[in-house]
Structure 1
Amino acid sequence: MSAQPKTFSELISGDQPVLVDFFATWCGPCKMMQPILEDTARQVGDKVKIIKVDVDRNPYAASAYQVRGVPTLILFQNGKPLWRQSGVVPANQLVKVIEDNLSQKV
Protein backbone atom coordinates (compact mmCIF):
# COMPACT_ATOMS: atom_id res chain seq x y z
CA MET A 1 0.00 0.00 0.00
CA SER A 2 1.44 3.38 -1.01
CA ALA A 3 1.54 6.32 1.34
CA GLN A 4 -1.02 9.03 0.83
CA PRO A 5 0.39 12.12 -0.87
CA LYS A 6 1.01 14.87 1.63
CA THR A 7 -1.16 17.94 1.64
CA PHE A 8 0.42 21.31 0.93
CA SER A 9 0.23 22.28 4.60
CA GLU A 10 1.94 19.00 5.59
CA LEU A 11 4.71 19.61 3.05
CA ILE A 12 5.54 23.09 4.39
CA SER A 13 5.10 22.30 8.09
CA GLY A 14 8.30 20.38 8.66
CA ASP A 15 11.52 21.53 10.24
CA GLN A 16 13.27 21.30 6.86
CA PRO A 17 12.87 24.54 4.88
CA VAL A 18 10.74 24.23 1.74
CA LEU A 19 11.07 26.54 -1.24
CA VAL A 20 7.75 26.63 -3.10
CA ASP A 21 7.58 27.76 -6.71
CA PHE A 22 4.00 28.83 -7.47
CA PHE A 23 3.82 28.59 -11.26
CA ALA A 24 1.51 28.13 -14.25
CA THR A 25 2.14 25.94 -17.29
CA TRP A 26 1.27 28.82 -19.66
CA CYS A 27 3.72 31.27 -17.98
CA GLY A 28 6.94 32.06 -19.90
CA PRO A 29 8.93 33.34 -16.89
CA CYS A 30 7.83 30.22 -14.96
CA LYS A 31 9.48 28.06 -17.62
CA MET A 32 12.68 30.10 -17.13
CA MET A 33 12.63 29.20 -13.41
CA GLN A 34 12.90 25.42 -13.99
CA PRO A 35 16.65 25.32 -14.79
CA ILE A 36 17.28 27.95 -12.10
CA LEU A 37 15.54 25.76 -9.50
CA GLU A 38 17.50 22.71 -10.68
CA ASP A 39 20.75 24.68 -10.31
CA THR A 40 19.68 25.92 -6.86
CA ALA A 41 18.82 22.35 -5.79
CA ARG A 42 22.29 21.17 -6.86
CA GLN A 43 23.93 23.97 -4.84
CA VAL A 44 21.93 23.60 -1.60
CA GLY A 45 21.59 19.81 -1.68
CA ASP A 46 19.20 18.37 0.88
CA LYS A 47 19.24 21.46 3.14
CA VAL A 48 16.03 22.60 1.44
CA LYS A 49 13.19 20.80 -0.29
CA ILE A 50 12.04 22.50 -3.51
CA ILE A 51 8.49 21.92 -4.72
CA LYS A 52 6.44 23.34 -7.55
CA VAL A 53 2.76 24.20 -7.15
CA ASP A 54 0.65 24.76 -10.27
CA VAL A 55 -1.70 27.64 -9.38
CA ASP A 56 -4.32 26.47 -11.87
CA ARG A 57 -4.47 22.98 -10.35
CA ASN A 58 -4.07 24.17 -6.73
CA PRO A 59 -5.98 27.45 -6.46
CA TYR A 60 -6.54 26.97 -2.72
CA ALA A 61 -2.81 26.96 -1.91
CA ALA A 62 -2.20 29.95 -4.18
CA SER A 63 -5.12 31.85 -2.65
CA ALA A 64 -4.10 31.00 0.93
CA TYR A 65 -0.75 32.79 0.38
CA GLN A 66 -2.13 35.64 -1.75
CA VAL A 67 -0.21 34.57 -4.84
CA ARG A 68 -1.31 37.15 -7.40
CA GLY A 69 1.38 36.67 -10.04
CA VAL A 70 3.51 33.80 -11.25
CA PRO A 71 6.17 32.79 -10.69
CA THR A 72 6.05 33.52 -6.97
CA LEU A 73 8.63 31.86 -4.75
CA ILE A 74 8.03 31.44 -1.01
CA LEU A 75 10.47 29.88 1.45
CA PHE A 76 8.64 28.13 4.31
CA GLN A 77 9.82 26.55 7.52
CA ASN A 78 7.55 25.06 10.18
CA GLY A 79 4.59 26.29 8.13
CA LYS A 80 5.66 29.93 8.27
CA PRO A 81 6.75 31.97 5.26
CA LEU A 82 10.31 33.24 5.80
CA TRP A 83 10.78 34.99 2.44
CA ARG A 84 8.85 35.59 -0.75
CA GLN A 85 9.39 37.17 -4.12
CA SER A 86 7.55 37.26 -7.41
CA GLY A 87 9.25 37.03 -10.78
CA VAL A 88 12.34 35.24 -11.99
CA VAL A 89 15.01 35.00 -9.28
CA PRO A 90 18.60 34.04 -10.23
CA ALA A 91 20.03 30.87 -8.67
CA ASN A 92 22.79 32.74 -6.81
CA GLN A 93 20.17 34.96 -5.15
CA LEU A 94 18.02 31.95 -4.21
CA VAL A 95 21.02 30.18 -2.69
CA LYS A 96 21.87 33.31 -0.68
CA VAL A 97 18.27 33.65 0.58
CA ILE A 98 18.22 29.99 1.61
CA GLU A 99 21.61 30.16 3.33
CA ASP A 100 20.73 33.45 5.08
CA ASN A 101 17.51 31.93 6.43
CA LEU A 102 19.25 28.71 7.47
CA SER A 103 21.96 30.63 9.31
CA GLN A 104 19.30 32.48 11.36
CA LYS A 105 18.25 29.13 12.82
CA VAL A 106 19.74 28.57 16.23
Structure 2
Amino acid sequence: MGAVTLTQSTFQEQIDQGVTLVDFWAPWCGPCKIQIPIIEELSTELDQATIAKVNVDQEPELASKYEIMSIPTLLLFKDGELVDKMVGLQSKEVLKNKLNI
Protein backbone atom coordinates (compact mmCIF):
# COMPACT_ATOMS: atom_id res chain seq x y z
CA MET A 1 0.00 0.00 0.00
CA GLY A 2 2.78 2.45 0.85
CA ALA A 3 2.92 5.15 3.45
CA VAL A 4 -0.02 7.54 3.55
CA THR A 5 0.79 11.20 2.92
CA LEU A 6 -0.95 13.36 5.51
CA THR A 7 -1.95 17.00 5.32
CA GLN A 8 -3.41 19.49 7.77
CA SER A 9 -6.91 18.43 6.67
CA THR A 10 -6.36 14.65 6.89
CA PHE A 11 -4.04 14.36 9.88
CA GLN A 12 -6.46 14.26 12.82
CA GLU A 13 -8.86 11.85 11.15
CA GLN A 14 -5.99 9.45 10.39
CA ILE A 15 -4.50 9.39 13.89
CA ASP A 16 -7.84 9.18 15.76
CA GLN A 17 -8.21 5.39 15.53
CA GLY A 18 -5.70 2.61 15.96
CA VAL A 19 -1.92 2.92 15.83
CA THR A 20 -0.32 5.41 13.45
CA LEU A 21 3.38 6.07 12.92
CA VAL A 22 4.00 9.47 11.32
CA ASP A 23 7.35 10.41 9.74
CA PHE A 24 7.97 14.18 9.57
CA TRP A 25 10.46 14.72 6.73
CA ALA A 26 11.61 17.03 3.92
CA PRO A 27 12.99 16.29 0.44
CA TRP A 28 16.26 18.17 1.14
CA CYS A 29 17.03 16.23 4.35
CA GLY A 30 19.80 13.64 3.97
CA PRO A 31 18.78 11.35 6.87
CA CYS A 32 15.16 11.59 5.69
CA LYS A 33 16.20 10.07 2.35
CA ILE A 34 17.47 7.05 4.30
CA GLN A 35 14.38 6.92 6.58
CA ILE A 36 11.74 7.05 3.81
CA PRO A 37 12.57 3.61 2.29
CA ILE A 38 12.40 2.08 5.79
CA ILE A 39 8.99 3.71 6.32
CA GLU A 40 7.78 2.44 2.95
CA GLU A 41 8.95 -1.12 3.77
CA LEU A 42 7.12 -1.05 7.09
CA SER A 43 3.95 0.15 5.40
CA THR A 44 3.89 -2.95 3.19
CA GLU A 45 4.82 -5.38 5.98
CA LEU A 46 2.58 -4.27 8.83
CA ASP A 47 -1.19 -4.61 8.90
CA GLN A 48 -1.78 -3.62 12.53
CA ALA A 49 -0.60 -0.01 12.12
CA THR A 50 -0.91 2.83 9.65
CA ILE A 51 2.38 4.25 8.42
CA ALA A 52 2.20 7.87 7.33
CA LYS A 53 4.43 10.79 6.43
CA VAL A 54 4.24 14.57 6.56
CA ASN A 55 6.39 16.85 4.40
CA VAL A 56 7.32 19.66 6.80
CA ASP A 57 7.90 22.10 3.92
CA GLN A 58 4.33 21.61 2.70
CA GLU A 59 2.73 21.33 6.16
CA PRO A 60 4.52 23.83 8.45
CA GLU A 61 1.45 24.13 10.71
CA LEU A 62 1.62 20.43 11.60
CA ALA A 63 5.36 20.60 12.19
CA SER A 64 4.84 23.56 14.49
CA LYS A 65 1.91 21.96 16.34
CA TYR A 66 3.99 18.89 17.20
CA GLU A 67 7.14 20.94 17.90
CA ILE A 68 9.22 19.29 15.18
CA MET A 69 12.63 20.92 15.57
CA SER A 70 14.75 18.47 13.58
CA ILE A 71 13.97 15.86 10.98
CA PRO A 72 13.37 13.08 10.57
CA THR A 73 11.11 12.96 13.61
CA LEU A 74 8.71 10.06 13.99
CA LEU A 75 5.61 10.32 16.15
CA LEU A 76 3.65 7.31 17.32
CA PHE A 77 -0.05 7.78 18.02
CA LYS A 78 -2.50 5.35 19.57
CA ASP A 79 -6.18 6.26 19.22
CA GLY A 80 -5.31 9.93 18.73
CA GLU A 81 -2.90 10.17 21.67
CA LEU A 82 0.81 10.79 21.18
CA VAL A 83 2.62 7.88 22.88
CA ASP A 84 6.18 8.21 21.56
CA LYS A 85 8.47 10.70 19.80
CA MET A 86 11.67 9.58 18.09
CA VAL A 87 14.10 12.19 16.75
CA GLY A 88 16.64 11.22 14.12
CA LEU A 89 17.10 8.22 11.87
CA GLN A 90 15.44 5.07 13.25
CA SER A 91 16.16 1.49 12.20
CA LYS A 92 13.45 -0.81 10.94
CA GLU A 93 13.92 -3.05 13.98
CA VAL A 94 13.49 -0.17 16.44
CA LEU A 95 10.32 0.96 14.68
CA LYS A 96 8.87 -2.57 14.57
CA ASN A 97 9.49 -2.92 18.32
CA LYS A 98 7.83 0.45 19.02
CA LEU A 99 4.81 -0.56 16.94
CA ASN A 100 4.23 -3.67 19.06
CA ILE A 101 2.63 -1.66 21.86
Give TM-score scaled by structure 2 length. Answer: 0.85
After TM superposition, the runs of 4+ consecutive aligned structure 1 residues lying more than 4 A away are none
Which of 17, 25, 35 is matched with 1:23 structurally? 25
CA distance in 1, matches of 2:12, 2:44: 25
Unmatched 5+ stretches in structure 2:
1-6
SS at match of 1:66: coil
Aligned to 1:50: 51
Which of 4, 8, 11 is matched with 2:11 structurally? 8
Amino acid of the residue matched to residue 88 of structure 2? G
* CA deviation profile, 1:14-34 (whole Å, cap 9, x unmatched): 1x2010000011101001011
Indicate if the aligned counterparts of 1:40 and 1:92 stay in contact, CA closer than 8 A. Answer: no
Alpha-carbon RMSD across the aligned residues, in angstroms, is 1.5
Indicate if the aligned counterparts of 1:13 and 1:78 stay in contact, CA closer than 8 A. Answer: yes
Q: Which has the higher helix share?
A: 1
- Output aligned runs, 1:1-106, within 5 Å: 7-14=10-17, 16-43=18-45, 45-99=46-100, 101=101
How many residue pairs were aligned? 94
> Percent of pairs identical after alignment?
38
Amino acid of the residue matched to residue 10 of structure 1? E
Give TM-score scaled by structure 1 length. Answer: 0.82
Q: CA deviation at 1:50?
A: 0.6
Q: Which has the higher strand share?
A: 2
Indicate if the aligned counterparts of 2:42 and 2:51 stay in contact, CA closer than 8 A. Answer: no
Amino acid of the residue matched to residue 25 of structure 1? P
CA distance in 2, matches of 1:91, 1:13: 24
